[in-house]
Structure 1
């Protein structure tokens, strides 16, 4: 099972990116987690750049989504909303087919951010018919540095929660693939 984990943060020492790296480190052997942490490097979406003019960074982003069995998104909240970089990345996917039937689930690294999550759920339910709204994991990692995030994820309780989440999402991806 190939899962693409997208960090919605453009920060170098992002808690969300650190959480995804820690989750990749403890993922079960039958689940390969790769990370896309380049939302800040994608050009601003413009329909004029689609098709033949598609920027290489966007083409690479779309390709990793197409090659994945499912997508997990972890994002911070900025001003009670979806960060601009993540929304921009999603905008690049709207006119293609790569995301339409792709299973997607959310992870969250904070005890807050419910308004952003509600907005993101609305956007994701619009762009894919396989948004797994009930498969969700929230870990209280806000303000931890990357080493502290890893230590927190590696605790027995969090390791168990993360692996259960990954198994549930993997099963959802497999079930969707069988019905597609």
Structure 2
């Protein structure tokens, strides 16, 4: 019942738009700060790996192993992905463009940051993003998704119809 309320109610769509824009602004400004500020992920990755030791580690061993064996050797790729991922997720959420995909990518980054021992606002952002993901299309109802998603659905449907017609002709 609550899920239906999140997915169909027009007033909820307005509240979700506010949440979506807030999250988008947070992501966009964080990404832009990294893009213009000369961000380098290597220090962050080494710090996260360092938090895996001691009596009460903030980082799980399996995550530290991933960071050490995959992320740290590919630090340039991860630097690029974090900077531009944050910025592009932010733009997409602010515009309400491919909202569900942007929210999914955002929550994945939030979880990666939490796994790396960073608390900050990640927990709050995860909670708010869950509402966007559960709401589905309604989260982008007052955004570009209102126009883009129906266009894509119509385009795909036309292609399917054309393909079925071609298959029917060849048989």
Q: Which bracket does the TM-score occupy, shorter chain normalised?
A: under 0.3
- Which is bigger in relative contact order (C-alpha 8 A, separation at least 6)? 2
Q: Identify the structure with the greater strand proportion.
A: 1
Give the TM-score of the pair, scaled to structure 1: 0.23
Give the TM-score of the pair, scaled to structure 2: 0.24
